[in-house]
Structure 1
Amino acid sequence: MMQEKKYTVEKDTKIPFHNNVAYCIGTGRMGLALQKEYQEQLALVQEEIGFSHIRGHGLFSDDMAIYQEYTDENGIKHAEYNFTYLDLVMDSYLSLNIRPFLELGFMPDKMASGKQTVFYWKGNVTPPENYDAWCALVQATLRHLMERYGEQEVVQWPIEVWNEPNLPGFWKDADMEEYFKLFALTFAAIKEVDGRFRVGGPAICGVEDEKWIRCFLEFCRKESISVDFVTRHHYTTEVPENVGHYGYVKLREPEEGYANLQTTRDIIDSFEEFKGMEIHITEFNTSYIPNCPLHDTNQNAAYIAGQLSRLGDMNESYSYWTFGDIFEEQGVPFTPFHGGFGLVANGGIPKPTFWTFKFFADLQGTCVHRTDEAVIVRKEDGSYRGIVWNMTMDGTGEDICRSFRLPMEGIPSGEKGECCILTKTVDEVTCNPLKLWHAMGEPSSLSGEQKKLLKEGARPLVEAQRKELEDGMADVCITVRENGVVYFEVSPVKAGGDRGYCYKRVVGK
């Protein structure tokens, strides 16, 4: 049985829809940007989607080699800074027309007050032994960037202080008071360099999030800190069941997540001086682990479509974690499809969720229709762009059909008129590289031919038809299989064609 619904869009309809899908994307630690495969995956993402900013960990971790020390002939220790790798990374980002959303962390080992680390690559998560040295490092880095890339450019890069300090794994003992000290001193140091920098926090995730947001704003009020924006993270699965290298998860109902995000909006708006302040979700995905097979599926793509349709309601931006699978929090992955966070699997293979982002990035215009399973916008030229998705919570469901009557403009008086309806389909039948990889025997090391085949199987199905208008209206019927996402365009067809050419005759009709 197919579930059907029909809608008619009125001529002057305007519906609120804040679509900032391409503002920011996540990445693994910054040092990974020195790898060729990383750059190839980011280039693919930028070519198809075109994100404005990129955020990741490890700016000050030792593999970036920025913070150094030496002892002079009098036995006095001095700090010095090495920006060689930073320049390589920033040059590569800017060459792809993407700019950093700077996350300040983790702690250089030589500066750290302790030995606690996180991840396979051992990012130090302890406070600085000397806060003056930390602030000097932050200032020296910003001044170097401004000198190299220009003040007007660099002051536009948002800055976030640390990552998930409410979790003891990311900030020693999840010490709130110590984090607030870090934030206040870092904020002041940045503004001393240039007051135009926009600085935010506390970049919390999950645990006691309401308490942390409220206490953070109370602290800013008490210390007269004019924080520029608030940041937090957003994940939507239950605790994983671990089997071998993998974590299997159950999705949460989307409304639970939206309700949790609303609490942050409500808390901020309860402070008169912070009311209406921007919220940036600097990480979001379904699961919070980098070995979750759900990330590679069409189900993930359909679920994320629902997220992208609503996250802009209360947040200025929402950064998917991450653009690609060159990522090492739990070590180097064993296979190309290992449940990594990325939109792109290793080997340069787009996952279904990649296309969800591509489709929403193309969804620019005036919103004329919006439900829990579809969004349609009208462009200035009178054409339409839309997305319909069929999200399932347990992986199974029924096909859906959504019909739309859309008013078409620009048809000369007295002409019946035609429209072109273009669709791009991503579902378990038409665009499912994971299924293809499984059918191949799940090879852990892909040959050139296997990569080529998987890339072919990772493209949307493109279809098109010409259809006569009825009373100036285009009738569009979109069928979506379970866990599917369908993008469509509807445009008026202008009369044309070569003398003597008859398409119907060519195809035998």
Structure 2
Amino acid sequence: MNKRIIVDGEGRVDFHNNVDSCVGTGRWGLALTEEYLKELEFVQGEMGFKLIRGHGIFHDDLSIYHEYEEDGEIKLEYNYTYLFRIIDRFLEIGIRPYLELSFMPSQLAKGTQTLFHWKANTTPPKEYRLWADMVVALLKNLRARYGEEVLDWPIEVWNEPNLPGFWYKADMDEYFKLFKETYEAVKAYDSRFKVGGPAICGVNEEEWIREFLTFCIKYNLKPDNITRHHYTVEFPESIGHYDYSKLEDSDMRINNLQATRDLVDSFDDFKGTPIHITEFSTSYTPRGVIHDTNLNAAYLAHQLSRLGDMNELYSYWTFGDVFEEKGVPNSLFHGGFGMVAAGCIPKPTFWTFSFYKHLKEFSEICVHRDENSVIVKSEEGYAGILWNKDEEDLSAILALPFETGEYTLITKTVDEECCNPLKLWHDIGEPAYPTKEETELIRSGAYPLINSSIVDVNDDSTVLSFDVRKHGIIYFELTKRRFTPDRGYDYNKVLTHH
């Protein structure tokens, strides 16, 4: 497959790169473990995500909500020991919470329905007053400890209430009540807090968002953002511990997001309201084997080139493989959601996010975007990403306008041949619990291939050739070369004078 890309250096293309806006985690309680924190520090060192969103801030393992009997009277107290310990570490690592308010403390729950290996209670509160009091007490205590910056921590009411496992019977009216009670309590405490919903995923999206906005108008509620999730696979085939899914058409999934933007904007009261994709990935299961592949990385490269068109925030689910919704993982590579595997082994998808982060740091002036590439320009030169989610190799010819002079071309390549830790793990026997030496070996095969060359521009333009293998990604920078050799040092003579 051949492609020629001609870039107009003076042109401008609408491209919103919010790659570092937020990232997902499992449940909050996992942040008390050593491996979790190592993986988060590793990811943050490369990405610098602003926010982190996870489940279960009110789950029993954080032990916030407590009812007890004293002198024949039921009393209530809150305990923030674990929560503060977690947030303290988040702030040290340089990331702030996106406050998803879930799930129901067992003592506050109306019912007994639970979800996941860790038994998240997904029923409404027995008393909405107690729920609202708990939420406001949380915000007051966060503010007392961390100051006014807490006002900038987004709030989302619940998670995927349109799915019966996540909210009892997927009861729309009951969820709307939860949202109303929460929204009004938070805004009565301090209207500057940003509250959003309905955090839906997949099923009856259009109906839920339309009815949610209609409900908000009826009760004079003004959510600060509209939240939803975004996954891009067909229903999986489950074999043993693993789920095998086929990808849906990438453009079709982007069009689905645009339909949500158009629906929100069709309401005069909510036109322009920010949309937050508080979870996105390819597969929606924590055993979705595609997560570990180079194809996952290339497919998401296309998604990341478009997600900012209609969404102010999008949060990849998740940063790491410490995750227990279906139990403790059975093997190193198990289709976990994370962009890094245990032992801080970066999966190919990690580099997709890294490349978009580098692109954002290089420049926000986009001069070209198509189905296989995005290119930005700065005073120093050009940077871009090329990807190939197809089954045959791509040969791309890139024509760039340039001032005459000498430039340095740096490329970083991630594909199934040069950066494929999954294959390396497979080739050494698929050890479920790799030794230290095996982990180091696999990690060594999980980094991009870096190449460099000197490009002489003599006629105000240059042509570059890139071979992007199937399921591959290439990041490049072409910048002015500043040659500053020391006296007596001759690079060519170093190589030939023997």
Shared fold, TM over 0.5: yes
State the SS of the aligned residue for 2:359: coil
The one of 127, 137, 142 aligned to 2:139: 142
CA contact (8 A) 1:107 1:127 kept: yes
For structure 2, list consecutive stretches of 5 or more residues without a partner in the other structure: none
The one of 402, 411, 419 aligned to 1:431: 419
Partner of 1:406: 400
The one of 144, 151, 166 aligned to 1:155: 151
The one of 165, 169, 183 aligned to 1:173: 169
The CA RMSD measured in Å over matched residues stands at 1.1
State the SS of the aligned residue for 2:4: strand
Q: Distance in 2 between matches of 1:430 and 1:220?
A: 52
5 Å-filtered alignment, 1:383-422, equals 383-392=381-390, 397-409=391-403, 416-422=404-410
Matched, 1:15 2:13: yes
The one of 162, 178, 184 aligned to 2:180: 184
Partner of 1:466: 454
Partner of 2:52: 54
Q: Distance in 2 between matches of 1:505 and 1:372?
A: 44
Give the partner amino acid of 1:224.
N
Partner of 1:43: 41
Q: Distance in 2 between matches of 1:477 and 1:100?
A: 43
Matched, 1:317 2:313: yes
Partner of 2:380: 382
Partner of 1:412: none
The one of 335, 339, 344 aligned to 2:340: 344
CA contact (8 A) 1:425 1:487 kept: yes
Partner of 2:445: 457
Deviation readout 1:401-432 (Å, 9 max, x if unpaired): 222222335xxxxxx51110000000001100
Partner of 2:94: 97
Deviation readout 1:334-365 (Å, 9 max, x if unpaired): 11100000001112111000000000011122
CA contact (8 A) 1:408 1:492 kept: no
Q: Distance in 2 between matches of 1:11 and 1:382?
A: 13
CA contact (8 A) 1:419 1:474 kept: no
Give the partner amino acid of 1:327.
F
Give the partner amino acid of 2:38.
E
State the SS of the aligned residue for 1:25: strand
CA contact (8 A) 1:231 1:282 kept: yes
Give the partner amino acid of 2:384.
G
Deviates more, 1:359-368 or 1:54-63: 359-368
CA contact (8 A) 2:415 2:470 kept: yes
Report deviation, 1:378.
1.0
Runs of 4 or more, structure 1, over 6 Å off, are: none
The one of 108, 113, 117 aligned to 1:111: 108
Give the partner amino acid of 1:216.
F
CA contact (8 A) 1:165 1:176 kept: yes
Report deviation, 1:262.
1.8
Deviation readout 1:89-119 (Å, 9 max, x if unpaired): 1001101110011100100000000000010
Q: Distance in 1 between matches of 2:464 and 2:188?
A: 57
Q: Distance in 2 between matches of 1:424 and 1:81?
A: 50
State the SS of the aligned residue for 1:111: coil
Partner of 2:69: 71
Report deviation, 1:201.
0.2
For structure 1, list consecutive stretches of 5 or more residues without a partner in the other structure: 410-415
CA contact (8 A) 1:204 1:231 kept: yes
Partner of 2:436: 448
Partner of 1:222: 218
State the SS of the aligned residue for 1:507: helix
Q: Distance in 2 between matches of 1:36 and 1:497?
A: 46
CA contact (8 A) 1:336 1:347 kept: no
Matched, 1:370 2:369: yes
CA contact (8 A) 2:132 2:182 kept: yes
Give the partner amino acid of 2:397.
S
Report deviation, 1:481.
0.4
Q: Distance in 1 between matches of 2:137 and 2:219?
A: 25
Q: Distance in 1 between matches of 2:462 and 2:482?
A: 15
Deviation readout 1:49-101 (Å, 9 max, x if unpaired): 1100000100000000000111112x110110000000011001101110011
Deviates more, 1:215-224 or 1:475-484: 475-484
Deviates more, 1:332-341 or 1:8-17: 8-17
5 Å-filtered alignment, 1:202-351, equals 202-351=198-347
CA contact (8 A) 2:9 2:377 kept: no
State the SS of the aligned residue for 1:445: coil
Partner of 1:482: 470
Q: How many percent identity over aligned positions?
A: 55
The one of 79, 82, 86 aligned to 1:82: 79
Give the partner amino acid of 1:81.
Y
Q: Distance in 1 between matches of 2:462 and 2:489?
A: 26
TM-score (norm 1): 0.96
Q: Distance in 1 between matches of 2:350 and 2:471?
A: 14
Give the partner amino acid of 1:183.
F
Give the partner amino acid of 2:90.
Y
Q: Distance in 2 between matches of 1:318 and 1:370?
A: 19
Q: Distance in 2 between matches of 1:494 and 1:124?
A: 60
Deviation readout 1:162-206 (Å, 9 max, x if unpaired): 000000000000000000000001001111221111110000001
TM-score (norm 2): 0.98
Deviation readout 1:358-391 (Å, 9 max, x if unpaired): 0001112200110110001112x33221100000
Report deviation, 1:255.
2.1
Partner of 1:413: none
CA contact (8 A) 1:469 1:475 kept: no
State the SS of the aligned residue for 1:388: strand
Report deviation, 1:476.
2.1
Q: Distance in 1 between matches of 2:88 and 2:334?
A: 30
Q: Distance in 1 between matches of 2:483 and 2:33?
A: 50
